[in-house]
Amino acid sequence: MAIFSVKVPKEYNKQERLDKYIASLPNGMNRSKLKSGVCEILINGKKSKLSQKIKPNDQIDIQWEDNIPDDIFPENIPLDIVYEDENVTVVNKKQGMVTHPACGNWDGTLVNALLYHWGRESIKQLKEGLDSEILERRRPGIVHRLDKETSGLIITAKNRDSEEWLQKQFKEKKSIQKEYICICTGRPKNGAGDIKTQIIRDPKNRQRFKAVTDTTDGKFARTIYHCIACYGNYSLMRVRIKTGRTHQIRVHMKYLGCPILGDSIYNKPDSLFPKATLMLHSFQLKIKLPGQNKNTTFQTKVPVRFKLIQKKLKEKFCKDVLVIKK
């Protein structure tokens, strides 16, 4: 996957669309190539469209891929189905599985597996049309997502009416509750807390995000945490998110001084657990199923990788419960 970054000069005085501006640059891409291969467009750290008008000093970051397949195929990939009816399928996504096809991951995704599970045919890729139409075609039934290395609960829609019902809840954020467990390196100063920050692209590394409080740039994010227990310099956390930003929990735990164990982006390799993978799991989801007035609660068991880490921590350290300061 390629990344194109450029900053609009301060003396720029035109009112051009983003795609037209990029095409005019000596090292830019033509508009057809941009349209067919674009994966993500960011202007000043915020998701944007090719039709966006640019301004002086805008920071533009574009991810794209040249070799996009013509079709998205059903694949016989085993799924851990937590619940299913005529409208939804709730899956306990395994670690390492990408939620939907995108640049660099065109097969082996949850969407490929669901197409097979639902008995659907392959999906013809859209390479022309509105950005929203192209992206929507690649992720049928997907109303929210988890990072590739995050395991846990995802609810998917089996028809358009259910998709709209679920999307409305995720957009309004009133009735939905998503809770995670994670094992972190470091101990928080307080046993519980409410983190409220803006999340922006890290200016030093465009692949990372950063929590900041001294700007209105980026997007607002809120995370509520409770430290269940500490073992030495490791913390077992229960986390509830009130917003759904990319890498939100990972960024906020880093901001708290307790980056998640096994996080290759926001943490360093750990001497005690050098082979640890990301210790973040979505274990509980409360949501109103289509046509219902009350929330239904879904839960998963603690993953094996968590049990193995916890076993070693209990053998090596004494359990410590932190005081919750008001």
Catalytic residue IDs: 147
171 three-class SS: helix
DSSP 67-121: ---SEE--------EEEE-SSEEEEEEPTT--SS-BTTB-SSSHHHHHHHHTTPP
**162: which 2 tokens?**
């259910």
N- to C-terminal Cα distance for the chain? Answer: 47
Q: How far is residue 161's CA from residue 61's CA, in Å, rounded to a whole number?
A: 35
Q: How far is residue 56's CA from residue 49's CA, in Å, rounded to a whole number?
A: 17
- Buried/exposed code over 310-325 (b: 16+ C-beta within 10 A; e: otherwise): beebeeeeeeeebeee
Q: How far is residue 239's CA from residue 253's CA, in Å, rounded to a whole number?
A: 10
